[in-house]
């Protein structure tokens, strides 16, 4: 099996929790190291890899793929340098800070024959996989309304300064927003127009921390919400079809388990507790049928396997740069809508 030599642009929480465990699980990747300006954390976990002191040192090394897992406002500059150095790139969300930046990176990758993937790992969450299965079953009939939420209760400001400073990549719109926007586009396609209400609710906050976005389609409306004042959680996925409803709480266990230091596997990984199963309540042949729907297994391995096949077999990236650009177009439109109080046509 061909080995894809892969380096990380940081080794904080994302590198340690979301990337390195799957890169080392997949037989097709070889983790070469991480760029760490002052610390040497990666070699505490992986003694045989390198610590790159500069980006230039990393890009000059024998590396095939670079994971851009730095703060959002650096993504465009770093990814551009990665592509110009002839490396494939896997870029965390938010892909960039604007749609124009996303389109430029997409064009640059295509010009150089490189694979550019957006790290939208939540497509491989157990909950979303189950929602997609229910949609594709047709049990709900035509969908007329849907809601996707990413709620938390955390009224305190983050200790990470880059998350709370007024920079182009900060705020919940570009933190949790890309997850739920991407999920909506993945499930329902690209909408016709957008309306948004973006607010700052936490005391002392300099960035947005509460978002409501409405996506308008010819036959449906999809509401997206994320915020930090949701102590009592409501279902994260609510689908309303002509035949009935499906509701599901956000229940994917992968992030929490990874944070304990546990390593992923290809057997029982990403298995939700049964009590978080979704509820399907429909009318069929004139009778009401209400059942729990078993949750599918989640596994972020699928994203990395897709990246591997994109590079080695010239397959389409599992999440394309155009997917990332479409998310950024929704974010751009949401900002314009919130600022003007008007619906923005795409």
Burial call 209-226: b when 16+ CB within 10 Å, e when fewer: bbbbbbbbbeebbbbbbb
pLDDT for the residue 124: 98
Lowest mean pLDDT of 108-117, 146-155, 163-172, name the range.
163-172
Res 69 pLDDT > 90: yes
User: Phi-psi category of 141—alpha, beta or left, where left has phi over 0 and alpha has psi -120 to 50?
Assistant: left
> What's the pLDDT tens digit per position in 34-48?
999 989 999 999 999
pLDDT (mean) for 183-211: 96
Distances in Å between the Cα of 172 and the Cα atoms of 156, 158, 306 are 13, 12, 28
pLDDT for the residue 161: 79
Domains detected in the chain: 4-121+303-317 (3.40.50.720), 124-298+330-345 (3.30.360.10)
Res 160 pLDDT > 90: no
pLDDT for the residue 342: 98
Contact 29, 6 (CB under 8 A): yes
> What's the pLDDT tens digit per position in 245-265?
999 999 999 999 999 999 999
Indicate the pLDDT class of residue 163, thresholds 50, 70 and 90: confident
Residue 336 CA, distance from chain mean position: 22
Indicate the pLDDT class of residue 164, thresholds 50, 70 and 90: confident
Contact 248, 235 (CB under 8 A): yes
pLDDT for the residue 167: 86
| Spatial CB neighbours of 255, under 8 Å, sequence gap ≥ 6 | 17, 18
d(CA 227, CA 123): 20
d(CA 249, CA 30): 36
pLDDT (mean) for 52-72: 98
> What's the pLDDT tens digit per position in 87-142?
999 999 999 999 999 999 999 999 999 999 999 999 999 999 999 999 999 999 99
pLDDT for the residue 281: 98
pLDDT, averaged across the chain: 96
From 22, 73, 67, 270, select the one nearest 175 (Cα to Cα): 73
pLDDT (mean) for 314-321: 98
User: Phi-psi category of 7—alpha, beta or left, where left has phi over 0 and alpha has psi -120 to 50?
Assistant: beta
d(CA 261, CA 345): 45
d(CA 49, CA 146): 46
> What's the pLDDT tens digit per position in 277-296?
999 999 999 999 999 999 99
Q: Assign 3-class secondary structure to 87-129.
A: CEEEEECCCCCCHHHHHHHHHHHHHCCCCEEEECHHHHCHHHH
Indicate the pLDDT class of residue 1, thresholds 50, 70 and 90: confident
pLDDT for the residue 165: 85
Which residues are paired to 290 by β-bridges?
281
Res 166 pLDDT > 90: no
């Amino acid at each position: 099996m061909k080995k894809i030599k892969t380096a990380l642009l940081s080794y904080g929480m994302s590198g340690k929790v979301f990337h390195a465990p799957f890169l080392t699980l997949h037989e097709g990747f070889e983790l070469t190291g991480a760029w760490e300006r002052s610390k040497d954390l990666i070699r505490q976990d992986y003694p045989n890899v390198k610590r790159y002191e500069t980006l230039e040192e990393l890009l000059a090394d024998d590396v095939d793929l670079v994971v851009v897992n730095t703060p959002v406002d650096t993504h465009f500059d770093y990814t551009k340098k990665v592509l110009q150095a002839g490396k494939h790139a896997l870029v965390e969300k938010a892909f960039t800070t604007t749609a124009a930046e996303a389109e430029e990176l997409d064009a640059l990758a295509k010009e150089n024959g490189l694979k550019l993937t957006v790290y939208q790992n939540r497509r491989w969450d157990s909950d979303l996989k189950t929602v997609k299965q229910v949609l594709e079953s047709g049990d709900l009939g035509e969908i007329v309304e849907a809601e996707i939420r990413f709620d938390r209760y955390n009224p305190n400001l983050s200790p990470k300064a880059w998350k709370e400073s007024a920079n182009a990549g900060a705020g919940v719109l570009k933190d949790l927003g890309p997850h739920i926007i991407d999920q909506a586009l993945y499930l329902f396609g690209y909408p016709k127009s957008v309306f948004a209400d973006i607010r700052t609710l936490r005391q002392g906050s300099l960035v947005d921390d509460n978002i409501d976005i409405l996506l308008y389609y010819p036959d449906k409306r999809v509401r997206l919400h994320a915020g930090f004042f949701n102590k009592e959680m409501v279902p994260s996925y609510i689908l309303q079809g002509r035949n009935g409803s499906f509701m599901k709480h956000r229940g994917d266990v992968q992030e929490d388990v990874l944070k304990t230091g546990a390593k992923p596997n290809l057997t029982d990984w990403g298995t939700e507790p049964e009590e978080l199963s979704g509820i399907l309540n429909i009318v069929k042949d004139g009778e009401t049928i209400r059942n729990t729907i078993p949750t599918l297994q989640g596994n972020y391995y699928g994203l990395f396997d897709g990246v591997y096949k994109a590079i080695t077999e010239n397959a389409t990236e599992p999440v394309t740069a155009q997917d990332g650009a479409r998310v950024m177009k929704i974010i751009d439109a949401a900002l314009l809508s919130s600022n003007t109080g008007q619906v923005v046509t795409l």
